[in-house]
Amino acid sequence: MSILIHTADGGCLNLEPRPEESLARTIVLSRLWHGVPLCSGLGKCGLCRVRFLSPAPAHTPEEARKLGPEALAQGWRLACLHPSEPCEVEVPAPVRSARAVRDLSPARGDFSLAVDLGTTSLHWAVLIDGKPVTMGQELNPQAGLGSEVMSRLAVAATAEGRLALRTLILDRLTDIAATAARDTGGSCLALAVSGNPAMTYILLGIPPDGLAAAPYALSYAGGDEQPLGAGLPPANIPPLLAPFVGADISAGLVAIEYDGAARYPFLLADMGTNGEFVLALSPKRRLVASVPLGPALEGVGLSFGRTAGPSTITGFRLTPQGLAPVRFEGDAAQGPPTAMTGTGYLSLAAILLRQGVLDRAGHFGPGSTPLAARLAARLTTLEGEPALALDDGLFLPASDLEEILKVKAAFNLAMSALLTEAGLSPSGLAAVHIAGALGEHVSLDDLETLGFLPPGLGARTIKAGNTSLKGTAKLVTDSRALAFARTLPDTITALDLTADPAFGDRFMQRMRFTHVD
């Protein structure tokens, strides 16, 4: 008996059951859900819904909330919550995160490829003579097999899981290089890939034992070239700096410091699914720490979240008429938006907080001005929880606000732990560089309002963009930048935040939209 899948375009797939896995994972491995921003078993996104044509399994409480009685009665279930057992299901048309590709120059010839391999997103640049000619961003194709680092590492714990994950990313990199070769008429002569240690180990097929459980340790520390396989040149891997502070941070430091313009002490906060932080005290001394932020900032795992791309809302403005959405840059806005990015969520939460429609603890409130009352009139319930209704069928449920609050608490905790270790206060920082998923589009006012940054620090904060990609592009085309990156490990002291017995208490103190030093 197999798993028989009927697809929306009239196709039929026969898949091998794997009862030790979820049905969603089996479908992901068939690549039918390539590019779908699944929350991977959290039961939040609803993007893994399938309709059983064979008898449906008993539903879970999450499904009752997410799908409702009518859909349950029709046989709809969330495939991430059921085992991969013989069955016949219908799979609706996948809701994919769109790839965003920008052509910047018509230059032709041999090229270098720089890749920022994030847990949730993949960013890349094709460079000719050191200048980008095409840049792209898309969902990491592995995301459907685990939405954050630890669940991805759990898949990578077996040789079979590692192979599946590695194949997904290698196939995509090979594809990007082949498309660039066709477009430029040249060959890929150099490649550099920067990712956190977990993504780097998975790319290279290295068992991630030292990353999956304490005591954490790096069995491979980067800073060399590694073969990836046919169709790709060997990959330059910048140094990994600590068990959860990776080559993406080495590349980020290249972007900020290599040209000699950095002012010390500065904080580099790379806010992706894994938050990686560097407090650079001088060119010779840097403290690093990491903290899991989860995929919320990248728009994944939130009820109406999506990675940045066409048809998404990336922010909001408050007008006398109420909330006005800001659409993804370059979005032709042909139709209504279908989702919000992490910055869209932050922007909305900051507006609600300023208007008193949200309190510091993350609860909805009535607001005190006529405009606030107009916003508060949108408060309703969704799937049994308080929510703010937006236009176009989008909502901000309380559980999504809690995810944002957890990210804020983790960010705040890492920042204050590094400053305490160095004996500095926020006012002693010359600069803060915000990088990663939020690095280009987030509003610094919003970060201050929500308590990510202490009051006043926004003025010394730089939206640094994707420093990992910028630095990777530099070191794949400039051997002196590469040499600089390789000096970084000797300057690093790593803090293990989770080893602190007070970690839980400190985290809970920061579960408010107020900065705590």
Q: Tell me, what DSSP letter sits at residue 364?
A: B
Inter-axis angle of helices 197-204 and 149-156, nearest 10: 30
Give whichever of 36 and 169 is closer to ligand FES, judged by the CB atom: 36
Nearer to ligand FES, 43 or 83 (CB): 43
Torsion sign over Cα 23, 25, 31, 33: positive
Comparing CB distances to ligand FES, the nearer of 40 and 119 is: 40
The residue type found at 398 is A
356 CB-near residues (< 8 Å, 6+ apart): 365, 366, 367, 368, 369, 372
Nearer to ligand FES, 38 or 206 (CB): 38
Tell me the β-bridge partners of 312.
Answer: 339
Closest residue to ligand FES, based on beta-carbon distance? 80
Least Å distance, CB 42 to ligand FES, is 6
CA distance 486 to 301: 36
Q: Which is nearer to ligand FES, 5 or 48 (CB)?
A: 48
What's the CA angle centered on 437, arms 433 and 438, to 5 degrees? Answer: 55
Looking from the CA of 16 toward its CB, the CA atoms found within 13 Å total: 3
CB of 48 to ligand FES, least distance (A): 4
Token code pair at residue 144: 């459907």
Which lies closer to ligand FES via its Cβ, residue 126 or residue 139?
139
Least distance (Å) from ligand FES to the CB of residue 37? 9
- As given in the structure block, the two tokens for residue 70 are 């009518």
Residue 440 is which amino acid?
Answer: E
Give the C-alpha separation, 482 to 112, whole Å.
Answer: 14
Q: Is 319 exposed, middle or buried (0-12, 13-18, 19+ CB in 10 A)?
A: exposed
| Minimum distance, C-beta of residue 300 to ligand FES, in the bound complex (Å) | 9
- Residue among 301 and 337 whose Cβ is closer to ligand FES: 301
Q: Residue 44 or 433: which CB sits closer to ligand FES?
A: 44
Which stretches of the chain bind ligand FES, using CB under 6 A?
A: 24, 38-48, 78, 80
Beta carbon of residue 242, minimum distance to ligand FES (angstroms, whole number): 30
For the bound state, the minimum distance from the C-beta of residue 404 to ligand FES, rounded and expressed in Å, comes to 18
Nearest distance in Å: CB 156, ligand FES:
19
- Measure the CA–CA gap between 147 and 206, rounded to whole angstroms: 20
Per DSSP, the residues of 57-73 read: PPPPHHHHHHHHHHHHH
- Give least dist CB 79 to ligand FES, A: 6
